[in-house]
Amino acid sequence: MGIFVNKNTRVLIQGITGKEGSFHARACIEYGTKVVAGITPGKGGQKMDDVPVFDTVSQAVKETGANASLIFVPPPFGADAIVEAADSGVDMIVTITEGIPILDMLKVKNYLATKNCRLIGPNCPGIITPGECKIGIMPGKIHKKGNIGVVSRSGTLTYEVVDQLTKAGLGQSTCIGIGGDPVTGTSFIDVLAAFEADEDTHGVVMVGEIGGSTEEQAAAYIKKHMTKPVVGFIAGLTAPPGRRMGHAGAIISGSSGTGAAKIQAFRENGVHTCENLGEIGRICKTIF
């Protein structure tokens, strides 16, 4: 089962004929994801392998019954693509695109508040429910079906964590990268709440990083609302203040957003804290 996506999810891909879009469309299909449509304005009527291509998202939704979108368009068109997906009526929008201007995302986020759909990302690896559905760019092979939920702000760091879990014999219910931007569609708390409610998830690994205060809010939420064990990790304890560490959102501003404050929030709220990435598999094995 897992959360948000499963074997019944019908996916359309915006930007399917681009280099990245076609590469990952094939990888998703190979994994078993139901990719039912692709969108590239001006290429409607063509096909990408066996996938029909449409000019607009609403056409694709009408003709194929797609209920989720995966977005690969370049950053200047990112906001437009998300709003088009939201207006077409899909329930789930996964945006991989890195580099969408923050003011674009502010508007999009405030607009989506009036819509009934979930945005994951931008600047994220996507979401996977192992054995059922992969909507994103993560390597499918490292995942294994199981009962641990994973939520993270990062890409390759998530793969590292998942790989260690799998090697430790701990399969995953669903793994979600919520994205490394300052403004993201889905928050840690949204995902934690869904994991808490999901029967197939027995424990959660939460991977945060410096910048902002969403880990602190999540820690408070965990104490108040979660009965399932949570293991937390924070990347960037050695990061200097005032510098953007690759991710647009990973920056310590003044005294806010430090790794130390997040670790402290984890500890004070009963989150099992892992301070060395090399040991996260072993620690999870002990706790779960």
Partner 1 sequence: MKIHEYQAKELFRKFNIPVARSGVAFSKEEALKISVGLGGFPVVVKAQIHAGGRGKGGGVKLAANPEQVLTIAEQFLGMTLVTHQTGSEGRIVRKVLVEAGQSIDKEYYLSLLVDRQTEKIVIMASQAGGIDIENVAEKTPEKIFKVYVDPLLGIQGYQMREVGFRLGFPAPAMKQLYGMLFNLYKFFVEYDASLVEINPLILTSGGTVLALDAKVDFDSNALYRHKDLLEFRDFGEEDPMEVDASRYSLNYINLDGNVGNIVNGAGLAMATMDIIKNAGATPANFMDVGGGASSEQVENAFRIILADPKVKAILINIFGGILRCDVFARGVVEAAKKTGVNIPVVVRMEGTNVEMGKQILAESGLNLTSASDLLDAAAKIAAAVN
Q: Give catalytic residue positions.
A: 247
In this chain, which of 38, 131, 155, 203 binds partner 1, going by CB under 8 A? 155
Residue 184 has φ and ψ, to the nearest 5°, of: -125, 155
CA–CA distance, 176 with 155 (Å, rounded to integer): 10
Choices 48-56, 86-94, 127-135, 239-247 (CB under 8 A): range interacting with partner 1: 239-247
Task: Tell me if 258 contacts partner 1 by CB under 8 A.
Answer: no
CA–CA distance, 288 with 283 (Å, rounded to integer): 9
Rounded least distance, CB 155 to partner 1, Å: 5
Strands 133-136 and 126-129: antiparallel
Within 53-72, the residues that bind partner 1 by CB under 8 A are none
Q: Confirm if 227 and 269 have CB atoms less than 8 A apart.
A: no
In this chain, which of 246, 260, 268, 286 binds partner 1, going by CB under 8 A? 246
Task: Tell me if 200 contacts partner 1 by CB under 8 A.
Answer: no
Task: Tell me if 226 contacts partner 1 by CB under 8 A.
Answer: no
Helix axes 259-268, 214-225, angle to 10 degrees: 0
Task: Tell me if 130 contacts partner 1 by CB under 8 A.
Answer: no
Q: Where are the beta strands (DSSP E) in 30-122?
A: 34-39, 47-48, 51-54, 68-71, 92-95, 118-120
List residues near partner 1 by CB under 8 A: 20, 75-76, 99-104, 106-107, 109-111, 125, 137-139, 142, 152-160, 163, 180, 182-183, 207, 209-210, 212-213, 233, 235-240, 242-243, 245-250, 254-255, 275-279
